[in-house]
Amino acid sequence: MKAPVIVMGMHKSGTTLVAEMLHRAGTPMVLPGVDPDYDSGTRYERRITQIINMKILGARDGTRYLPALMPIWEWPQNPFPTEFLPQIEAEIGDENWGFKDPRTTVTYPTWAQQFPEGARFYVYRSHREFLRRCFKKSGAKSRRLWRARREFNAWFGYNDCILRNFALDAAAHRPRVVLRYEELMRAPELVERAAQLTGVPLFDARNFDMRRTVGERAPASMLEKLYLMAAEVGNRARLKTLYEKLAQIRLAPTLIEESPIEQSPIEESSRR
C-alpha cells in the first residue's frame, strides 16, 4: 500500500478545496464510484478514516458523532486501531490515495506512526474570517456569542496542532506545506508552488469570482465588531505568538492582487 497524502486543518478553513485539488489531479480522496460533492455532504472525505479518527478519540464503536467544537485536542487518545488496516488495503489496493478529516489535525501523531511517509498539506484561516460565520446565523445574541467563544477556542486548539504536526514532519523530513486560505484564494502562483514543494500534482480548482478573493471587509454587525474587539484584547499575546509561528512556516505568496488581505491589528503587529 502506498503512503497517503494527508490534508489537515480546522473545519471551514479550506481543507475541502485542497482535497479537491488533489483528487482532480490524480490522488483519489474518496472511494472509486463515489461522486464527491460538498453540498451533498461527501466533502472529499473517506468514511473509513473518519471511523478510525473517532476510535482514536475514544468512540467505542467508531460511529459516535464528535461535534467539531468539542475540545478533542485536550483528550487522551487511543492507539491506532490496526484492525482497520485490511479494509484500507482492500479499498486502496496499489493506487495513490489520500484523505482529509479535520479531526486528523488532532490525531495526526498516531497516524504518523502508522504511516510515516507521504506528503502533508495544512491549511489555516484567520480568526476574523473564521468567526464571521458565527454572526451570520440567525438566533439570539447569547447563542451566537456562545458559539463564537467555542469557535475561537477551537481555532486556537486546531492551529496549535498544526504547529505540533509540522514540527513532527520536519523532524522526519516528510514533504509538507502550510497554506493560509486567504492567500491561497488570491495568490495565483501558490498552487503550482505547493505542488512543486510536495512533489504531488494539484489541479487548480479555485474560483476567483468567490467573495473570499475580495480585500478588507469590516465586521457585518456591531455585535461582531464588539466581540472581536473584546476577544482580541483578551488574547492579544496568544494571538500574536500563534500568527508569528504560522507565518514562519507557511508558503508565503510572491504575487498577490492589489487589495490587501484583511488583518487584525494583532496580525499586522506580528509581521513587523
Residues 77, 57 contacting (CB under 8 angstroms): yes
Q: What is the pLDDT of residues 107-154, one digit of tens each?
A: 999 999 999 999 999 999 999 888 887 787 667 788 888 888 889 999
Residues 6+ positions from 163 with CB-CB distance below 8 Å: 242, 245, 246, 249
* Environment class of 271 (CB within 10 Å of its CB; exposed 0-12, middle 13-18, buried 19+): exposed
Q: What is the pLDDT of residue 248?
A: 95
Long-range contacts of 50-54 (CB under 8 A, 24+ apart): 50/101, 50/103, 51/84, 52/80, 52/81, 52/84, 53/101, 53/103, 53/104, 53/107, 54/103
Q: What is the pLDDT of residue 64?
A: 55
Q: What is the pLDDT of residue 260?
A: 43
pLDDT above 50 for 215:
no
- The model carries a pTM of 0.89
* Look-up of cell digits 469590516: 218
pLDDT above 70 for 62:
no
- Segment 48-72 mean pLDDT: 77
- Segment 87-103 mean pLDDT: 94
Q: What is the pLDDT of residue 130?
A: 86
* Secondary structure, 3-state, 20-63: HHHHHCCCCCCCCCCCCCCCCCCCCCCHHHHHHHHHHCCCCCCC
Q: What is the pLDDT of residue 142?
A: 82
- Percent of the chain surpassing pLDDT 70: 83
| Rounded Cα–Cα distance for residues 223 and 145 (Å) | 9
Residue 245 one-letter amino acid: K
Q: What is the pLDDT of residues 197-211, one digit of tens each?
A: 999 999 999 987 764
pLDDT above 80 for 272:
no
Q: Please provide the size of the chain in residues.
A: 272
Higher-pLDDT residue of 81 and 271 is 81
Residues 6+ positions from 77 with CB-CB distance below 8 Å: 56, 57, 58, 107, 110
| Rounded Cα–Cα distance for residues 236 and 173 (Å) | 33
Q: What is the pLDDT of residue 219?
A: 65
Q: What is the pLDDT of residue 13?
A: 93
| Rounded Cα–Cα distance for residues 184 and 189 (Å) | 9
Q: What is the pLDDT of residues 249-268, one digit of tens each?
A: 999 887 554 444 456 666 66
User: What value does the mean pLDDT of the chain take?
Assistant: 86
